[in-house]
Amino acid sequence: MSSDPHILIIGAGQAGAETAWRLRGGGFVGKVTLVGDEPLEPYQRPPLSKAFLAGKVSRADLVFRGADAYAQMQIRLLSETRVEDIDRSARIARLLGDEALRYDVLVLATGARPRRLPVVGADLPGVHMFRTAADVDAIRPSFRPGAKLVVIGAGYIGLEVAAVARQCGLDVTVVEAAARPLARVTSPEIASFFLSEHSAKGVRFALGAQVASIRGHEHATGVTLTDGAELPADVVIAGVGVTPEVSLAQRCGLTIDDGIVTDANCRTEDPSVFAIGDCASRPMRHYDNRMVRLESVHNAIEGAKLVAASILGQNPPVLEAPWFWSDQYDLKLQIAGLFQGYDRVVLRGDPRDRAFAVFYFKQERMIAVDAVNKPGEFLGAKALLQKGLSPSPEVLADMTKPMKEIVATAG
């Protein structure tokens, strides 16, 4: 690096902001620039579909740190700023308006963008994407008792929005192309439980259903399905997943394969460029180093740790097994590990009690857990996954054995 090195971070979400803080906290004395395209300082995204949508927290509550804190940390924060192009050979990032920023190390934390509905009417007023605080600000005036909401997509975001909407008194229908909710992210056992819970709260589901068009002239008034069904709507929210934001990386010639490809330390094939967070795919130590792209707070933080350690010349940090969570009504779903490829399910507890855990095994090895209102099981499984330990399915199913005891005696 030069005598006065410059770290340029593109993307001012959790991953980018965390990297800047960790560099300063680790003693980096060069220049740090954090570029983001939103007007707000870096903020938490998980509350968007929960407390922020419900009006229980303000924009100020979402923000990690105010602008003054970045100034005090000598981090140049460029909000409402877009990077148009990267010249890797010259190590220059060009901003919209032709300003150029030279860098010694570039960190791409560009996140993901929501998929748009490829149907007629998707651009009507009253049809909303769900990714930013501005998206939620646009939706909230429609969240009034009796309003008809159609949510397209029954992933975590879709179900969290449905839960808040029902608690606000809206009439809610969820449309999902798969045969069950949460089909991409969890097992039939967990999906069935949440389907029952939402149905009991009055949410209607159209499963195995495809959207044909969105009706309306000056504003959305309904959703038409391919089977001819008509769903009236005052507001439509599309939660049909995201795609990694890799356009900058593609234009500057970096390798893309379901995200920007990196090594285990989040470094791309260009030694001066790292990629982290939702936009990047890296080998996962806890899962035989297979390439994985994760959309989670935990992955954003882990990427920031790895990049800061590399730039500071420190040993790589000890990484945790992946974890996630979802809040719906009074239910907290906590997830540790990655369930893909499981061949056996072990149930601990009774779903009828609304507090239970589903453990996933692959060839006698525990690989993940979904815990509903069972924080002890979540924390215990997370600790076991971290250590590479796996109790037997029979031991986990035995409710006479406390989870702490299972963790302590696992070998």
> For the segment 193-214, what is each residue's pLDDT rounded down to a tens digit?
999 999 999 999 999 999 999 9
Residue 129 pLDDT: 94
Residue 319 pLDDT: 84
Query: Average of pLDDT values for 64-69?
Result: 94
Band of the pLDDT at 1, cuts 50, 70, 90? low
Evaluate whether 34 touches 77 at the Cβ level (below 8 Å).
yes
Residue 402 pLDDT: 95
Residue 403 pLDDT: 96
DSSP state of 101: E
Alpha carbons 71 and 49: distance in angstroms, whole number: 30
Alpha carbons 336 and 41: distance in angstroms, whole number: 29
Residue 220 pLDDT: 97
Query: Average of pLDDT values for 305-324?
Result: 94
Alpha carbons 308 and 395: distance in angstroms, whole number: 40
Q: Does 350 have pLDDT greater than 90? A: yes
Alpha carbons 172 and 299: distance in angstroms, whole number: 32
192: number of CA atoms within 13 Å, CB side? 6
Instruction: Specify the higher pLDDT residue, 8 or 364.
Output: 8
| pLDDT tens column, 103-154 | 999 999 999 999 999 999 999 999 999 999 999 999 999 999 999 999 999 9
- Kind of pairing between the strands at 355-362 and 344-350: antiparallel
The three-class DSSP label of residue 238 is strand
Which amino acid would we find at residue 130?
A: F
Average pLDDT of the residues of the chain: 95
What H or E segment, with its residue span, contains residue 210? Answer: none
Query: Average of pLDDT values for 162-174?
Result: 98
Q: Is 208 left (phi over 0), alpha (psi -120 to 50) or beta?
A: left
DSSP state of 42: S
Alpha carbons 266 and 276: distance in angstroms, whole number: 6
Query: Average of pLDDT values for 292-320?
Result: 94
Q: Does 346 have pLDDT greater than 80? A: yes
343: number of CA atoms within 13 Å, CB side? 4
Alpha-carbon dihedral 204, 114, 300, 292, rounded to 10 degrees: 90
The three-class DSSP label of residue 362 is strand
Residue 77 CA: distances (Å) to CA of 3, 81, 242: 22, 10, 26
Band of the pLDDT at 286, cuts 50, 70, 90? confident
DSSP state of 41: P
Alpha carbons 138 and 123: distance in angstroms, whole number: 14
Band of the pLDDT at 72, cuts 50, 70, 90? very high
What H or E segment, with its residue span, contains residue 302? Answer: helix 297-312
- Contacts for 263 with CB less than 8 Å, ≥ 6 apart: 282, 283
